[in-house]
A and B are shown apart, each in its own frame.
Chain A
Amino acid sequence: GAGVSQSPSNKVTEKGKDVELRCDPISGHTALYWYRQSLGQGLEFLIYFQGNSAPDKSGLPSDRFSAERTGGSVSTLTIQRTQQEDSAVYLCASSLVVGGISPLHFGNGTRLTVT
């Protein structure tokens, strides 16, 4: 079936604007993850969902970042009042099982540029 789908693939926004990034996971995958990859940096964990709930929000960089997941499927990552340091590639991943050992399957990311 289809892999993890993210939209938009690219987003350019002005400093101070809000943005929404969307992730459509692989059908049937119960867990969903958001990571951030900055230029020259490794992947930084942001948040994960088990079903519609987010047990661990510790990775969110600030209270300007929020995420939700509805119907155990699509997730939205929202960044309010964007700053230039928010510029990065935002990657979404899903996996079949939480609690077991299951690889994460990634989308191709949304490249966010804050001008």
Chain B
Amino acid sequence: EDQVTQSPEALRLQEGESSSLNCSYTVSGLRGLFWYRQDPGKGPEFLFTLYSAGEEKEKERLKATLTKKESFLHITAPKPEDSATYLCAVQAGENAGNMLTFGGGTRLMVKP
């Protein structure tokens, strides 16, 4: 069974204090790893897809990296507007139909 574990569950940062969120996964035949951002009362918003170990993607203050066992979402000099829950998800297997298995998320709070 595919498993995705995110840590920490919650993270408080001061504005400008860089940090990283972790996503560990156990899957059979990883096809893609996805990062989403979710604001309160909203659906998850797609950020990145990573396909293979060693790959990196960047968007503004966010950079996602992937190894064979985990992914990191690095946040550089965060701002209060980066506060949200960040979700990691994997797609695996041959007949997955694009179904994603999600981790429990990391709730990020950035204080001014």
Contact = CB atoms under 8 A, between A and B. Distances in A.
Given A42-B104, A102-B98, A108 B42 contact: yes
Contact of B43 (A42, A48, A98, A108): A108
Interface in B78-112: 87, 89, 91, 95, 97-105
Contacts of B46: 103-105
Tell which of A42, A45, A56 has the most Cβ of chain B within 10 Å.
A42
B101 A56 contact: no
A111 B21 CA distance: 28
A109 interface: yes
Interface residues of A, number: 28
Contacts of B105: 42
B103 A42 contact: yes
B45 A106 contact: yes
Nearest to A42: B104
Contacts of A95: 98
A56 B97 contact: yes
Interface string A5-19: 000000000000000
Given A42-B104, A109-B42, 16 more contacts: A4-B43, A33-B99, A42-B87, A43-B89, A43-B102, A48-B98, A55-B95, A56-B99, A95-B98, A101-B32, A101-B51, A105-B46, A106-B36, A106-B43, A106-B45, A108-B43
